[in-house]
Structure 1
């Protein structure tokens, strides 16, 4: 990863997807990946996307791909399998190799299998679910490092992904700095509200003091 990406990933690790989601709403960026959830609520991931697009096999069955050995540590594997629930594109061997290589996690618009291995290794996998049926001879790689769609969101190679118990957000690489700045502002405002409430201030007053109800609303220069 570049120094800029490393700095962004470190900052994202101190944020929740809810902070980033609200920031993206305020900035008019669609980045919330609908229906993509972690195998374990304790999983978190943050890193730049390495994208792979799958399609159904044709007369040439193609391959499910051999790519994992070429990824840089800290990358997030982003697999666009068009939301298919009947054929997997991620399982035991990929999980074991990715965990060993220091890959940050995997995000799938589709399903995974061998979920016990991901849980055993603490390797973050986010998907639409899990099912045992292999994708071999059912799906094929249509391309690497090209724009893909995950949960209705366009993800480009190098975009930053953040995942936690509530799901995944994808941040366009060229806007990550402003998203992080706004997300940190929202996080800090919510922390002030929480501190005020713990000191006996009513939630209504604490929210008003922090401008809570417009934190994610496009305003002024953010609009």
Structure 2
């Protein structure tokens, strides 16, 4: 079945979507999350996993990838840890081969060279080589998680580009996408007006630029 809203979000950049989220009063911007390459782009529905500190005996970091649906974004909440990775080359190779949309981590990843070589999008707080084995373990899958201060629920829309990642809650996605498309159209109209000789001030006033991100009255 066609996922119309997934197709729509893939045509919009994260800056425009961020403005639409602000207008709706939704905190969907993943703070301090960045792509392993500025060329990366991703759009998909969230498949989530939450990690916690390893117990004794240590639990596994997970062999979950075979169960992730095609075209999903794998969303890994490692509590922002930067001293233990939860994603590396084997997972990158498998995810790329399966055609998954990308990986989003509140934490760090390793083996950056391979994801860049394959063009598989990985977004995280950074990269570091130390394994998470015996340091973290899977606590739960397909549960709400936190990525850079944004709540991510399984099935939410996830969009990443060179500026970072935004998450759009499923129950609000139609409204957010409508607003984002309106904002994009207004900004394109401003550009065209300026190219035609109008001053930026007048073009912005004509197309309501200063109200585009203002939160709507509830």
Which bin holds the TM-score, normalised by the shorter protein? Answer: over 0.9
Match of 1:135 among 132, 137, 150: 132
Determine helix, strand or coil for the equivalent of 1:14: coil
| 1:58 to partner: Cα distance | 1.3
RMSD (Å) for aligned C-alpha atoms: 0.9
TM-score normalised to structure 2 length: 0.98
> Aligned equivalents of 2:150 and 2:57: distance in 1?
29
Match of 1:116 in 2: 113
Within-5 A mapping of 1:104-183:
104-183=101-180
Determine helix, strand or coil for the equivalent of 1:201: coil
| 1:179 to partner: Cα distance | 0.5
Determine helix, strand or coil for the equivalent of 2:83: coil
Within-5 A mapping of 1:50-61:
50-61=47-58
Match of 2:21 in 1: 24
Q: How many residues align?
A: 218
| 1:218 to partner: Cα distance | 2.1
| 1:12 to partner: Cα distance | 0.7
> Aligned equivalents of 2:115 and 2:76: distance in 1?
16
Runs of 4+ in 1 over 4 A off after TM superposition: none
> Aligned equivalents of 2:148 and 2:189: distance in 1?
33
| 1:60 to partner: Cα distance | 2.7
Ranges in structure 2 where 5+ consecutive residues have no aligned partner: none
> Aligned equivalents of 2:126 and 2:163: distance in 1?
14
Ranges in structure 1 where 5+ consecutive residues have no aligned partner: none
> Aligned equivalents of 2:214 and 2:13: distance in 1?
18
